[in-house]
């Protein structure tokens, strides 16, 4: 069986159906049994302005990131497509609108920029769309059909997705099928000159295709979320949208609040009552939530905050990705306010972190921040989710009868620093909750020894999270034992780190990669042990300051090499690999 590893990029203007074409293509190919990683880049404007690019990598074996070079590029728009032609590999295919309906200046057509090693496929996309449906808006379906026909893919998975997508829209599904067929027939009849070959998907991969935000929503639902409060913000909004459609069906409640401050306040309020409660936001929203998060820490109330990072500061670049909110997630707010911060590295991780966040919030009675970014929120992957929820339905510390009564100590000092929690209305569980420093009963107390003891309690109770059951706090990949270069990664960019490590090992460099999922509390021992094994350590991340590198250095007192990019786009595997090679070479020279 031939292995399939094909990356397709579709490029167009907002409103041309570029993202929709990518969606149908990846859904159909996932339905056909291929593994998918996909990521869409789009402008902040809704329609008619900026560039949209849908990229999907189709594989028969597990992949961890998009590739630098695409095998196929579809240009729905000359202006936006031209800058991307260079990303197509030699003997890859460039599919584009054959003719312009307006006069073009020299060099304004895609064909002027196709490189000699690439294979041009001019297609009368507009004409086929108009013939098939009487409208140009089906151009995106024509190109989906053309790709399917050119590469000999079955029509059925595409029909299935089209029917599903437009099932409540009258004749729209039939129209889209017509456009698809028009493109398919031409593609099938086209003499193929590229060397892009789809192998059979092999054994049917029973998977669901989700993006990070959908996986978060699924994790929330499987963990039994009771309430969700949110205020829309890119790129976190779709978490709320997904939950809004699912929670009412399960008798759960979701409220769109007037702003982020209200969202976190209501989330903490719901958490106080014993509900599994969450909110979702992005960097600007997290900044607004910082004060209330402190209340959650001080009052030891479980709450879950999903934060999908985007380019900042301020309004920044709302539809571009960045990993620059690590510092505010770890340290944002006033006072000594420790919290749990976890960062999934892939879509499957989004599901697991979402569910586990509720367990941790309850077990350690604290806010838990789950840190995603736009790249992970919008990245689609085929994942095999468990049929049955793997999450505990109730993670609260058991409350013994003798704990309750007149002397109930909501904030009792215990061996594990977690106090038995009574919920409002529970007989014998009356207590005071306040944002002021308090004693074990919850009553305001500013005595030095109390503040010290309570501060210790709030910090120390979190250490147990490093051993939270069935949760991957960190994981090492690649060569065991001493290595030339180690890559230390977190969050969405770890996939690129992993692919770079594979490249390095193929080139004979001893290399390992460590992903760190739990960022607070920090797994100091494990990371230090990893650093001990590495001749040099590279920390690639999508922020200017090297926020994770700073954290690693602060926690381990070891030097690391930083690789920081702030392009608004994901890291590139080849760039990380180049850094690894440079470090390996430097180590070799030093040894010589």
Binding residues for other proteins, rule: CB under 8 A, are: 90-91, 98-109, 111-112, 114-117, 119-122, 191, 193
Nearest approach, Cβ of residue 92 and other proteins (Å):
12
Crossing angle for the helix pair 212-222 and 347-364, to the nearest 10 degrees: 40
SS3 call for 543: coil
Task: Print the SS3 string covering 295-319.
Answer: HHHHHCCCEEEEEEECECCCCCECC
- The least CB distance from residue 189 to other proteins, in Å, is 11
CB closer to other proteins, 71 vs 222: 71
Contact 575, 563 (CB under 8 A): yes
Q: Provide the token pair at 217.
A: 């929503």
8 A C-beta contact, residue 107 and residue 78: no
Query: What whole-number distance in Å separates Cα of residue 67 and Cα of residue 387?
Result: 31
Minimum gap (Å) between residue 180 Cβ and other proteins: 24
Q: Least distance from C-beta 139 to other proteins, angstroms?
A: 16
Enter the tokens of residue 185: 């027939």
Angle between helices 172-189 and 156-165 in degrees, nearest 10: 160
- Our CB check for other proteins shows the closer of 121 and 548 to be 121
* Token pair in block for residue 304: 């879950």
CA 492 to chain CA mean position, Å: 6
Asked if 358 and 228 count as a contact pair (C-beta separation under 8 A), the reply is: no
Q: Which is nearer to other proteins, 52 or 110 (CB)?
A: 110
Q: How far is the CB of 120 from other proteins (least distance, A)?
A: 4
Q: Quote the CA–CA distance of 89 and 73 in Å, as a whole number.
A: 10
Q: How far is Cα 97 from Cα 101, in angstroms, rounded to an integer? A: 10
**Which residue's CB is nearer to other proteins, number 111 or number 208?**
111
**Smallest gap from residue 73 Cβ to other proteins (A):** 14
CA-CA distance, 62 to 145, in Å (whole number)? Answer: 26
Greatest distance between any 2 Cα atoms in the chain: 86
Q: What is the DSSP string of 139-205?
A: HHHHHHHHHHHHTT--SHHHHHHHHHHTTTSTTHHHHHHHHHHHHHHHHHHSPP-S---PPP--S--
Kindly state the smallest distance separating residue 200's Cβ from other proteins, in Å: 21
Between residues 191 and 314, which has the closer beta carbon with respect to other proteins? Answer: 191
Closest to other proteins by CB, 183 vs 495, is 183
Residue 467 in tokens: 């051993």
Identity of the residue, 92 or 285, whose beta carbon is nearer to other proteins in the bound complex = 92
Whole-number minimum distance, CB 58 to other proteins, in Å? 24
Q: Which is nearer to other proteins, 100 or 245 (CB)?
A: 100
Question: In terms of CB distance, is 115 or 174 closer to other proteins?
Answer: 115
Listed in order, strand segments (DSSP E) in 316-450 are 340-342, 367-373, 380-383
Smallest distance from other proteins to CB 525, Å: 51
């Amino acid at each position: 069986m031939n292995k399939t590893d094909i990356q397709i990029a579709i490029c167009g203007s907002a409103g041309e159906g570029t993202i929709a074409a990518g969606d149908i293509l990846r859904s159909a190919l996932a339905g056909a049994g291929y593994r998918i990683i996909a990521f869409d880049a789009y402008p902040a404007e809704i329609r008619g302005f900026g560039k949209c690019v849908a990229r999907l990598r189709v594989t028969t074996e597990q992949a961890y990131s998009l590739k630098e070079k695409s095998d196929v590029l579809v240009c729905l728009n000359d202006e936006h497509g031209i800058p991307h032609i260079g990303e197509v590999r030699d003997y890859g295919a460039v599919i584009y609108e054959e003719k312009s309906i307006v006069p073009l200046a020299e060099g304004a057509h895609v064909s002027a920029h196709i490189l000699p090693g690439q294979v041009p496929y001019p297609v009368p996309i507009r004409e086929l769309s108009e013939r098939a449906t009487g409208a140009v808006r089906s151009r995106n379906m024509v190109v989906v059909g053309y790709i399917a026909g050119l590469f000999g893919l079955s029509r059925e998975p595409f029909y299935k997705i089209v029917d599903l997508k437009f099932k409540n829209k009258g004749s729209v599904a039939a129209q889209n099928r017509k456009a698809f067929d028009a493109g398919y027939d031409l593609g099938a009849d086209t003499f193929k000159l590229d060397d892009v070959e789809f192998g059979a998907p092999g054994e049917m991969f029973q998977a669901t295709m989700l993006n990070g935000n959908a996986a978060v929503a699924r994790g929330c639902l499987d963990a039994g979320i009771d309430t969700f409060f949110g205020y829309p913000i890119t790129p976190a909004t779709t978490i709320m949208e997904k939950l809004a459609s699912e929670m009412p069906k399960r008798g759960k409640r979701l409220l769109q609040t007037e702003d982020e401050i209200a969202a976190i306040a209501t989330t903490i309020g719901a958490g106080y009552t014993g509900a599994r409660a969450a909110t979702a936001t992005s960097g600007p929203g997290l900044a607004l939530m910082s004060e209330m998060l402190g209340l959650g820490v001080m009052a030891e109330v479980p709450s879950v905050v999903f934060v999908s990072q985007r380019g900042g500061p301020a309004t920044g670049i709302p539809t571009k990705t960045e990993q620059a909110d690590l510092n505010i997630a770890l340290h944002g707010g006033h006072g000594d306010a420790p919290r749990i911060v976890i960062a999934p590295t892939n879509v499957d991780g989004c599901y697991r972190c979402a569910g586990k966040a509720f367990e941790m919030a309850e077990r350690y009675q604290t806010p838990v921040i789950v840190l995603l970014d736009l790249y992970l929120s919008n990245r689609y992957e085929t994942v095999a989710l468990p049929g049955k929820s793997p999450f505990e339905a109730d993670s609260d510390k058991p409350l013994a009868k003798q704990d309750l009564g007149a002397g109930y100590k909501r904030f009792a000092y215990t061996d594990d620093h977690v106090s038995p929690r009574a919920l409002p209305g529970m007989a014998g569980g009356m207590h005071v909750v306040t944002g002021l420093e308090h004693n074990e009963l919850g009553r305001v107390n500013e005595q030095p020894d109390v503040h010290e003891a309570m501060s210790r309690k709030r910090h120390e109770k979190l250490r147990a999270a490093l051993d939270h059951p069935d949760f991957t706090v960190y994981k090492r990949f690649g060569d065991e034992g001493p290595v030339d270069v180690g890559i230390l990664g977190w969050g969405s960019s770890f996939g690129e780190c992993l692919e770079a490590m594979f490249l390095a090992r193929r080139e004979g460099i001893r290399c390992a990669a460590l992903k760190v999922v739990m960022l607070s509390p920090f797994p100091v021992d494990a990371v230090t042990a990893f650093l001990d094994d590495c001749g040099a350590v590279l920390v690639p991340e999508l922020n200017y300051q090297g926020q994770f590198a700073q954290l690693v250095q602060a926690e381990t007192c070891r030097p690391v090499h930083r690789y920081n990019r702030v392009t608004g786009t994901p890291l590139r595997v080849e760039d990380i690999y180049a850094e690894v090679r440079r470090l390996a070479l430097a180590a070799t020279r030093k040894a010589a």
